[in-house]
Structures are given as structure tokens and as C-alpha cells.
Amino acid sequence: MCDRGVEEAEIWREHSGELVRYATVLVGPDHAEDVLSSVVERVLRRKGGLTSLAHPRPYLFRAVLNQSRNHFRAGTRTAASIEAVVLPPEVRPEVFAAVVGLPERQRAAVYLTYWRDLPVQEVAALMGCQAGTVKRYLHLARNRLRGTLQP
């Protein structure tokens, strides 16, 4: 049991930085820790824990996305603070503000695809959906951003 705890701590350490950034983009800096705490609690209650998973990274990303959606359902939707998220230097503040206004799944797809520069297949695995679904989220997000950012 002790070895499992050590292994799970290593898995968490390996992915925690990117999960914190991901949660911050999804729910904002004021609520990211709440989302991550809920995810960790669920993982600890999961039979077999993270060590029983062949690929814990996609599981953790899906858990953060699902928990962020639950968080919004509870009526705690807030905009993420630009200062709290590490953005690529080429992302303008007005673009980030528009992305924050997207629905969670579209925002997740945009963040993972364009800011983390992950291929659509990997984004699909992290979001727990098909590549075509990610492409649809990106299409919807681009249309919405186009309408928001163009005068």
C-alpha cells in the first residue's frame, strides 16, 4: 500500500503543473484549486488508483474537465484572470478574454490545441472524445471568436 502511495505521488508530481494550468484556464485561478482537490479526492477513492491505469495523464485531464463542468453547474462560473495563466507571448489579452468566454469544452480544445500545441488525436484522448468532436469544438470556437473579436 505504501508503494502505491509513492507511485501515485510521482504520477501526480509529473502531471500536476499542466493540470493546474489546465484547471486555471477552465475555471479561473480562484477555483482551480477546488477543482483539483475534488479530482484528487476522487482519484484517491478510485479502486486501484492511478497506478492501475496504463495511461493516467488522459484520465486526469478528463477528470479535470468533468469536474470543471460540475463546478460551473454549481453556479460558480467566473472568468479566468489573465495574470494567473501562463500564456504564450503571442496571445493578446483580448484574445484570451474572448477564449475565456467560450463554453468549457471549446475552451479546453482551444487551450490544448493552440496554446499547448498538442495534436488533435492527443487532445481527443485528453478530453475523452473522438478527434472529430475536437475538430467540431475548434470549429465552433473559431466561429464564436471570429464574431467576438471582429468589430
CATH of the domain at 104: 1.10.10.10
Print the domain residue range for 72: 1-55+63-86
Q: Are 3 and 72 within one domain?
A: yes
Compute how many other C-beta atoms are within 10 angstroms of the C-beta atom of residue 35. 27
Q: Are 104 and 150 within one domain?
A: yes
Give the residue carrying C-alpha cell 475548434.
Answer: 138
CA-based R_g, the chain, Å: 16
Q: How many domains does the chain have?
A: 2
Amino acid at 62: R
pLDDT digits (tens, 9 = 90+) for 38-95: 988 888 787 877 888 888 899 999 999 999 888 766 554 444 443 445 556 666 778 8
pLDDT digits (tens, 9 = 90+) for 116-131: 899 999 999 999 999 9
- In a 10 Å sphere around its CB, with 0-12 CB exposed, 13-18 middle and 19+ buried, how is residue 96 labelled? middle
Share of the chain above pLDDT 70, in %: 84
* C-alpha cell read off for 120: 488533435
Q: What angle do the packed helices 120-127 and 131-149 form, to 10 degrees?
A: 100
pLDDT above 80: residue 4: no
